[in-house]
């Protein structure tokens, strides 16, 4: 999760235990592209 946070894929909220992760605005804006790539990988 730390790598995803560093790469701005997710945003974290809270301290160590119980930290919450959500998709970043950047990831939400490009989610269609992510799904396209993901579907290609599943083939």
- The string of DSSP letters for 1-43 reads -HHHHHTTSEEEES-STT-EEEE-HHHHHTHHHHHHHHHHHH-
Q: What's the total number of domains in the chain? A: 1
Q: What's the pLDDT tens digit per position in 11-39?
A: 999 888 889 999 999 999 999 999 999 99
Q: What is the pLDDT of residue 27?
A: 96
- The length of the chain, given as a count of residues: 43
| Structural domain containing residue 15 | 2-42
Q: What pLDDT, on a 0 to 100 scale, did the predictor assign at position 9?
A: 95
Does the reported pTM lie above 0.75?
no
Residue 6 CA: distances (Å) to CA of 15, 16, 23, 24, 43:
16, 16, 12, 11, 29
**15 vs 7, more confident:** 7
- For 16, residues 6+ apart whose C-beta sits below 8 A from its C-beta are none
């Amino acid at each position: 999760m730390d790598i995803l946070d560093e790469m701005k894929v997710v945003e974290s909220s809270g301290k160590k235990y119980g930290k919450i992760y959500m998709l970043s605005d950047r990831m939400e804006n490009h989610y269609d592209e992510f799904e396209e790539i993901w579907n290609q990988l599943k083939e």
